[in-house]
Amino acid sequence: MAQPIIVQPGTKVKMKDYDPDYTGEYKNKTQAQKKILEMQNNMIELQELLYAENKRSVLIILQAMDTGGKDGTIKNVMSGVDPQGCEVESFKVPTPEELSHDFLWRAHKVTPGKGKITIFNRSYYEDVLVVRVHDIVPKEIWSKRYEQINGFEKCLADNDTTIFKFFLHISKDEQKKRLEERLEDPAKLWKFSEADLKERQYWSDYMDAYEDVLTKCSTDYAPWYIIPANKKWYRNVLIGEIIVNRLKNLNMKYPESKIDLSKIVIE
């Protein structure tokens, strides 16, 4: 049975209804590989068009549990795009300066300008996830942030920013497997952190928090996509397809020359 990917506004999300092993119409990696290459080529062309048109911007938000595949998604899906027009922003523990402002301030100042793509590796959604799970701020504060986030994203959308929000959904067993792989592979040891093990103890609390995020903050102008991410190849092809299809629907056009090119003579 087909599994929904986009969270329709007003839908009450329960994570138990979403299988992280789901692979849709694809049966294996080989079957998807040809589509991934096609998607990457389309992405390069569409990014060049976005950059040349210089009328709108693209914000891609990646949220996941530890080892969920945020870095892998950036590496594989955005492979080949021109770095002049694409930036990645990561959100770690807030600095003293950031804490002296509202929680959206540090995100707003790095949102993409016209013609640009910006990828948020984690985002302002941490302020209704981590702060909730670890009781960093009172519920009376973080509970108001869903509406504030929706308003912020509406402002971006009204100013010609196309917003993609992807929750990379892996199982707890898959996370265990990936953490063990980090311990066993010398090339991945640097990624291992004891903090990941501590956060793993709060898995159920995080799932509850994500359910509220996906339920309350999926809108027509900034929908959430729940990406089954146990299979990395399916994660990549699905996210690529979503981005390419929505960018195609923008009907972007190369700008016309402001001078009469018929009079240009190159000697």
CATH number, residue 107: 3.40.50.300
Task: Show the CA angle centred on residue 147, arms to residues 143 and 149, nearest 5°.
Answer: 100
**The pLDDT of residue 17:** 96
Residue range of the domain that includes 185: 15-251
181 in a structural domain: yes
pLDDT in tens, 121-163: 999 999 999 999 999 999 999 999 999 999 999 999 999 999 9
81 in a structural domain: yes
**The pLDDT of residue 23:** 96
The CA-based diameter of the chain, rounded to the nearest angstrom, is 71
**The pLDDT of residue 242:** 97
Quote the tokens at residue 54: 């210089």
**The pLDDT of residue 235:** 97
9 in a structural domain: no
25 in a structural domain: yes
10 in a structural domain: no
3 in a structural domain: no
> Number of structural domains, the chain?
1
- In the chain, which stretches have pLDDT less than 70? none
pTM of the predicted model as reported, rounded to 2 decimal places:
0.94
Cβ-based neighbour number of residue 30 at 10 Å: 9
**The pLDDT of residue 62:** 98
265 in a structural domain: no
Cα-trace Rg, the chain: 20
Residue matched to tokens 């995080």:
206
63 in a structural domain: yes
